[in-house]
Structure 1
Amino acid sequence: MTGDTSKAAGIPGTRSLLPLGGVLAAMAVSLTGTRISVVALPWFVLVTTGSATRTGLVAFCEMAPYVLVKAFTGPLVDRIGPRAVSWTTDLASGTAAAAIPLLHALHLMTFPLLLVLVAVIGAARGPGDLAKEVMVPEAAERGRVPLERATGLAGVTERLASTVGLAVGGSLVALLGPLAGLAVNAGCFALGSVIIKLVLPRGMGHAVDDAPVRAGDAEPGYWRRFGEGFAFLRGELLLLTVIVMVGITNLLDAAFSSVLIPVWARQSGNGPTAIGLMGSAMGAAAVGGSLIAAVVAHRLRRRVVVLAGFLLAGAPRFLILAFDAPLGMVVAVFAVSGFGAGFVNPVLGAVLVERVPRRMLGRVNALGDSLAWAGIPLGGLIAGAVVTGVGLVPVLLACGAAYFLTTNLAGLRPEWREIDRTRGRGAVQSHSREVASPSGAQAAK
């Protein structure tokens, strides 16, 4: 008898690449839809209201629920399992996204109703994104793919989705209008839900057994699980430093993508096509950077890779728009920034997974992501108000300077030296605890 007996037995060490391929495919279609919406939704608000402040408010109403709900979903993902969370929340996001063009076509859409719908999308997206991230290490282990390579491939997927999504979004908005982009976004969420529900192997994506419970003790409840994740994260100075730094850069990136770029595109006369072109150039270069990182990142000094990546990915994008450069030069700078950005997430993702026990990955990842994303809802809101008050160019210059200082000052902190030692320490911490578990590894980022 021939065949993959380990797969038949449900052993996590199977060589099949279907689990990792399925998770990455679901991530790809969902993220592609989200990136299409990044172009379509702000443009829809700008052309219908003409207000940068309202554009920022829409971004706030999507991202605030995203961050808040994601922060408190971690224990549920660990308890219920990421698979069920992923496909149900993607279905909810798709339904809310489809309602926007439908209600607008029926002349029933109002601005308050739009805020409610984007809030629903954000609230469902948070747990859905978390659940997919949590399944990556399990999928890697089942296929015997090195962790840094798996997180690198996840980074490639994210960058490729950004490239395709922004290009498609810019083209759709230019040719058919923003509502066409929002309809495609809804379809992408639905497809991601189907992939997770029907394509992944049946034994994958279920909850991981928690720490052993002594006889007579009650099973840990929600708040105890949440507190365990919080206590663990509080004791990890390296992770906290990374989270604070990424939190500030995420705020600046949110302001950039949701308000500053659309306002620049409108004021410069380049329009939504330029947004798609710039995003595609950055995304394509980031795919290349992520592919290289997936192959060689485990051989390089992590601190140098991360800081150099941020140096290229951050301030240059803001400054080139502030100097009113030709579109060709803008696209070139975005491509260089994308290449640098491609190296950052594979390394930081591997560091997180290595330092966190598998059974706690959902709750720690949720808290870490939520803290890192806490500024994103404010980015568009603040940028919209400030641009209205002082103009676009001063805001671009201030944001570029803030990005440069944040990433370089964080890299000087002493705990950043641990990032080059995490590989050996984390491999023991994250795997030795879980291989001993009779249920095997289940979850992860």
Structure 2
Amino acid sequence: MGPGPRAGLVGLLVASGISAAGTRVSVVALPWLVLVTTGSAAQTGVIAFAEMLPYVLLQALAAPLVDRFGGRRVSILCDAASVVILGVTVVLYDTGGLPFWALCGLVALLGAVRGPGENAKHVLIPDIVTAAGLPLERGAGLLDGVSRAGSLVGLPLGGVLAATIGAGNALLVDAATFGVAGVLILALVRVPRPAHARAARPEGGSGVRGYVDDMREGLRFLVHDPLLRAIGLMVLATNLVDQAYTAVLLPVWAKTVFGSATIIGLVGGAAGLGALVGNLIFSVIAHRLPRRITFAICFLVAGAPRFFLLAWTDSLVVIVTVVAVTSLSIGAINPLLGAAEFERIPERMRARVLGAVGSLAWAGIPVGGLLGGWLASGVGITWALVAFGTAYLVATLLPFFQPAWRLMDRDRTRPPGQPFSRRLRTAVAPARAATSTTPTPPATAVVVPAPVVSPARDGAAEGAGDAVVEVDGPLDCPPTASPQPRAG
């Protein structure tokens, strides 16, 4: 008899926390390694770009494979590959055989396996949380909490390790955490593949054609869902700025003002502590709060102030205190986002759509490090902090005014994963059906939103009712676009 649902939840949480701690060690170690060996803020940005570009691309491009083969299997394979890549990096660095171009290549490989691996872990959340009998907000909050706890440990640990045993050797800690995470998921996490994954794929739906159709289906769902589009576009901007802050601005500020990598860990640890405490609070009460306004206020408080703070004062006591207090609100952001996403995405498309949303939200990250390095080198660290802080402030005001964000508030009458009536539900129909050579199936009932006739809750337009129409054959029509208007 294998591990039960609670053991699976504990295994996933612990694995995610340990992996987050190791990743945060490398967040400090990699830029510090470049800074102490080259002294170049621009090359520090290049390293961040080399890791995050393949991370973002493969998070989306590998998503259909995650849906096909399951999040558990992909997560384990990616963790194992990360151990090997980091081990090779450390060996080459210690033997003097790691020029900058080779470091960029290895870091790119690391990003290429981290992206699908983290998406695979994310995909496991709803099934494991539901099996354990927890609300989605609480389950997403627990996962975010252990990740933030890992960050709280990993950032200061990375600063201490980089300052004592060296940035290169600190990467060994990251390799060990990937190994432990993979073993935990292998031993404890048991998630049966859903019916849609076990079902035989139609002829013509396998191989490259099936992969392309799967990818198209996930992208179509994202494009025609106004809230998912709004999440992706907003977090695209904030993640770009966050990457500039983490990969370049904070390390350059710490080196310029204090000359020590320990400061990076101290400031990062204060943010991690505040976020962890906030997460513990919001994991308990988040499902009772209005999602949109809670999310908007918390993101506004957690985002821009730290940039202006570093530009305004060099007082470490003030900085650490304010960063810790404002970071309390970070704990609400990812649980609320995660719950809204899980509710809107059908189970069989989860990896594809989450991969598409994640790639859109992370698309600015590769550029963030480059822009941070370029701006810090060009105008100085103070003005670079002010510029990026202003951009963050503008982005975090959007949920207060953009109509699509009203869809974030939960619909308690609709089961998770069932499409909302305000967009055409044929978005969940497989695109690959059109290319199948199998006999045409019977007519399919499709729910289509009725015309808008009255204002809905929070002033958003809502359909008066749903009409059911008969469609002969497989479905392959994109949904009608809904009105327009994700953290790292």
Name which structure has the greater RCO, CA cutoff 8 Å, separation 6+.
1
Residues in 1 aligned to 2:151 and 2:195: alpha-carbon distance in whole angstroms: 31
Q: Distance in 2 between matches of 1:207 and 1:425?
A: 20
Larger Rg: 2
Out of 192, 196, 200, which is 2:185 matched to?
196
> What percent identity do the matched residue pairs reach?
44
**CA distance in 1: counterparts of 2:205 and 2:322, whole angstroms:** 57
Please name the residue that 1:38 is paired with. Answer: 27
Q: Which residue of 2 aligns with 1:323?
A: 312
Whole-Å separation in 1 of the counterparts to 2:6 and 2:226: 35
Contact 1:163 1:280 in 2 (8 A): yes
Residues 282 and 338, structure 1, Cα contact 8 Å, conserved in 2: yes
Q: TM-score, normalised by structure 2?
A: 0.82
**Which residue among 116, 126, 146 is the counterpart of 2:105?**
116
Letter in 2 for 1:209: H
- Shift, 1:97, TM fit: 1.1
| 2:295 alignment counterpart | 306
Instruction: Give, in whole Å, the separation in 1 of the partners of 2:126 and 2:254.
Output: 39
Q: Is the 8 A contact 1:135 1:205 kept in 2?
A: no
The aligned counterpart of 1:380 is 369
Q: How far 1:383 sits from its partner (Å)? A: 0.9
1:292 pairs with 2:310: no
Q: Is the 8 A contact 1:77 1:131 kept in 2?
A: yes
Which protein is richer in helix relative to its size? 1
Rate the CA distance shift 1:426–1:403 in 2: closer, same or farther, 3 A.
Answer: farther
**1:397-436 equivalences in 2 (<5 Å):** 397-425=386-414, 427=416, 429=418
The normalised TM-score by structure 1 is 0.90
| 2:79 aligned partner | 90
Task: State the partner residue of 1:438.
Answer: none
Asked whether the equivalents of residues 155 and 269 of structure 2 are also in contact (C-alpha less than 8 Å), the reply is yes
How much does 1:337 deviate? 2.7
CA deviation vs aligned residue, 1:30-76 (integer Å, no higher than 9, x gap): 11110000111100000000000000000000000000111111110
Amino acid in structure 2 at the alignment position of 1:326: S
Q: 1:328 to 1:235 in 2, by over 3 A?
A: same
Aligned counterparts of 1:192 and 1:54: Cα–Cα separation in 2: 31
Evaluate the alpha carbon distance shift between residue 181 and residue 217 of structure 1 in structure 2; reply closer, same or farther with a 3 A threshold: closer
- After superposition, the C-alpha distances for 1:89-115 in whole angstroms (9 at most, x for unaligned) are 111111111222211111111111000
Of 323, 327, 330, the match for 1:338: 327
Residue in 2 aligned with 1:170?
159
Structure 1 residues 424, 148: CA separation in 2 closer, same or farther (over 3 Å shift)? farther
2 CA distance for matches of 1:124 and 1:215? 29
Runs of 4+ in 1 over 3 A off after TM superposition: 205-208, 210-220, 421-426
Which segment drifts farther, 36-45 or 321-330? Answer: 321-330
Contact kept? 1:81, 1:207, Cα under 8 Å: no
Instruction: Return 189-198 or 376-385, whichever deviates more.
Output: 189-198
Task: Give the corresponding residue for 1:225.
Answer: 214
Aligned counterpart, 1:209 = 196
1:180 to 166, 169, 174: 169
Q: 1:140 aligns with which of 124, 129, 136?
A: 129
Amino acid at match of 2:264: I
Matches within 5 A, 1:260-275: 260-269=249-258, 271-275=260-264
Deviation digits for residues 214-261 of structure 1 (CA, Å, limit 9, x no counterpart): 987756811111111111111110110111101100000000000000
